[in-house]
A and B are shown apart, each in its own frame.
Chain A
């Protein structure tokens, strides 16, 4: 109860104008990046990662949370207006929202997306605050062999989620693990893979990897796909004219969707957020499919269903709350955004785990409050204030935009440590990630392999050391056995059972 009250007390930190400014600034940045096709909130947080070196941990985390929430919501803007999802999680919204746009109800669709994002995001944040103390209690019960099996479970799920490219997922994850082994050994004071250089003894920092994998590779991809004549609809065209009052969804339509749909979708999104590797796209897809299956108006789906928009948007914003649970309790990020937030924690000397909530809840609580307020207040407020201008974001010249991103990425990687080596490393990772993306290797898997690799090694070696080298410890330890069985269950569900089931769409 005390922990819950401390978490609720995080709202007090937002009364500080500086912290509030970072929350609002982060939300606007996240909205911009989320609404711009090709840019994502992950890229926004990646670009801002070096800046977190120069600011306090509370505003840094508050900003990350608001970017996360904004990015998840704002993907629906271009998904609706020009049928290009600003973020992958808005794919289902594009199906329904753009149909409504074509019928002349674009503002109404955006209003429904914002309302569902607001409800889902708020519920996700409340669930996060309410169940975090419980999750902390449970995590204390997990011993070292169990932690190994949990990390293994996370890595396996992350790889098999992309059923079409499992071998490539394994390669990308192992590549991340290999990068993570550079530097001092996780248990002993022995340098590994430094190839005789002093610079590599300290290991590879997460920052150049994040900037390279998400920012520089994006600039290179855009450079390759560059087509100056590529057409994005004219934002001044008549179809895209939007008035503020049109954003407010009529009460009759909200009642028709039903409050149950919003809440059920939010719970689905939160639950999926807890699973490693699942992310907003899966949350939106599962929730959309569930809502369609239970709908009283299934014939509207695919033709502009407001219920479909509500289900998808409520779920993907609620996912934000769920994604923080494994990251904060076990250091296992469920998606790339929380992986980078984990980087922010580590940079500031905070170690994820149940003790984090006991000893440093005052630093974490404002982040939860930011997640809640971003959903409840900033989503509807920004839509009302800036909604008519949102669609114009896509008219920013891409040459200017990507040149600016390249400067932020490179200078950002320099300012974090004042090191030209870090800049070069970021470019090296950027080039690698560019090739990987062209060849359909997941850079997210590489990042998660980099983050989880050291934990996997540490827990494995500690467990074996404690059991005199007996690997049966992973089967005789109940918590470890539970996670190994869970891993087997997920492999069956995702790889085998899903193959037998026909597509829901």
Chain B
């Protein structure tokens, strides 16, 4: 029970931000200005002030989260995290393959994987494929043909 109280996302997120703020503050101390005139505020002043205020705000958030009972909904309870995680994995793969495979093939695979995640037409393979091709083609038309954007192509192919 005590572990649950501290392992909630409501607690973990501000703790993660405290780590980020500490790294930020460390980097802020490393900012050096070679130019200085009387009354001038150094380039690291605002970042340091921001980090200081961030610590105070995060401590208030942590205090509020700890005061709320562990059973209270914190906005993270509904739904499953599997699907967002799959979307992130598919997106990361898409970004990695976007240039090597070109727009058409990488987008087709990306759209197909998202259809799987969202369970769209997975029982009807023909419709599944047609919709995936249609989405890929529609946005190729929008970006490449309408707006004249140069999209990456599969090596040796025009699209």
Which residues in A have their C-beta under 8 angstroms from that of B61? 167-168, 171
Judged by a CB distance under 8 angstroms, whether A1 is at the interface is no
Which residue of the partner chain, among B39, B45, B58, B117, contacts A223 with CB atoms under 8 Å?
A: B117
Residues A175 and B86 in contact, CB atoms below 8 Å apart: no
Residues A223 and B147 in contact, CB atoms below 8 Å apart: no
Judged by a CB distance under 8 angstroms, whether B24 is at the interface is yes
A174 to B84, CA, bound (A): 26
10 contacts between A and B (CB under 8 A): A171-B57, A174-B50, A177-B46, A399-B120, A410-B91, A420-B98, A435-B9, A440-B75, A461-B46, A468-B38
In A161-176, the 8 Å CB interface with B consists of 167-168, 170-171, 174-175
Judged by a CB distance under 8 angstroms, whether A219 is at the interface is yes
Which residues in B have their C-beta under 8 angstroms from that of A434? 84
Given contacts A181-B47, A464-B39, A470-B39, A415 and B120 within 8 Å (CB-CB): no
Which residues in A have their C-beta under 8 angstroms from that of B21? 178
Residues B147 and A54 in contact, CB atoms below 8 Å apart: yes
Which residues in B have their C-beta under 8 angstroms from that of A437? 75
Judged by a CB distance under 8 angstroms, whether B41 is at the interface is yes
Judged by a CB distance under 8 angstroms, whether A6 is at the interface is no
In B36-91, the 8 Å CB interface with A consists of 37-41, 43-47, 50-51, 53-54, 57-58, 60-61, 64, 74-76, 78-81, 83-84, 86-88, 91
Given contacts A423-B95, A461-B46, A170 and B53 within 8 Å (CB-CB): yes
Residues A461 and B41 in contact, CB atoms below 8 Å apart: yes
Judged by a CB distance under 8 angstroms, whether B154 is at the interface is no
Residues A188 and B33 in contact, CB atoms below 8 Å apart: yes
Which residues in B have their C-beta under 8 angstroms from that of A181? 46-47, 50
Select the stretch in A234-242, A265-273, A401-409 that faces chain B: A401-409
What per-residue 1/0 map shows which CB atoms of B1-29 lie under 8 Å from chain A?
Answer: 00000000110011001000100100110
Beyond A423-B95, A464-B41, 6 additional pairs, beta carbon < 8 A: A192-B27, A216-B91, A399-B119, A407-B136, A427-B92, A461-B46
A54 to B143, CA, bound (A): 10
Min Cβ gap A418→B in Å is 8
Which residues in A have their C-beta under 8 angstroms from that of B17? 171, 175
Which residues in A have their C-beta under 8 angstroms from that of B14? 171
Residues A223 and B31 in contact, CB atoms below 8 Å apart: no
Given contacts A402-B114, A403-B111, A411 and B103 within 8 Å (CB-CB): yes
Judged by a CB distance under 8 angstroms, whether A199 is at the interface is no
In A212-251, the 8 Å CB interface with B consists of 216, 219-221, 223-226, 228
A184 to B47, CA, bound (A): 13
Residues B24 and A404 in contact, CB atoms below 8 Å apart: no
Residues A223 and B118 in contact, CB atoms below 8 Å apart: yes
Which residues in B have their C-beta under 8 angstroms from that of A141? none
Given contacts A54-B147, A406-B91, A460 and B41 within 8 Å (CB-CB): yes
Judged by a CB distance under 8 angstroms, whether A303 is at the interface is no
Which residues in A have their C-beta under 8 angstroms from that of B46? 177, 181, 456-457, 460-461
In A312-343, the 8 Å CB interface with B consists of none
Given contacts A171-B54, A174-B53, A420-B99, A220 and B84 within 8 Å (CB-CB): yes
A168 to B46, CA, bound (A): 20
A51 to B142, CA, bound (A): 10
Which residues in B have their C-beta under 8 angstroms from that of A408? 139
Residues B118 and A403 in contact, CB atoms below 8 Å apart: yes
A178 to B46, CA, bound (A): 9
What per-residue 1/0 map shows which CB atoms of B139-150 lie under 8 Å from chain A?
Answer: 100010001111
Which residues in A have their C-beta under 8 angstroms from that of B83? 223-224, 226
Residues B94 and A465 in contact, CB atoms below 8 Å apart: no
What per-residue 1/0 map shows which CB atoms of A461-486 lie under 8 Å from chain B?
Answer: 10011111110000000000000000
A474 to B28, CA, bound (A): 26
Which residues in B have their C-beta under 8 angstroms from that of A470? 39
In A431-445, the 8 Å CB interface with B consists of 431, 434-440
Residues A410 and B43 in contact, CB atoms below 8 Å apart: no
Residue of B nearest to A225 (CB): B79
A440 to B73, CA, bound (A): 11
* Residue among B53, B87, B98, B150 with most chain A CB within 10 A: B87
Which residues in A have their C-beta under 8 angstroms from that of B24? 178, 193
* 9 cross-chain pairs, A with B, having the tightest CB-CB distances, nearest first: A399-B120, A399-B118, A469-B39, A224-B79, A468-B39, A403-B114, A223-B83, A170-B57, A167-B60
Residues B54 and A174 in contact, CB atoms below 8 Å apart: yes
Judged by a CB distance under 8 angstroms, whether A185 is at the interface is yes
Min Cβ gap B7→A in Å is 14
Judged by a CB distance under 8 angstroms, whether A349 is at the interface is no
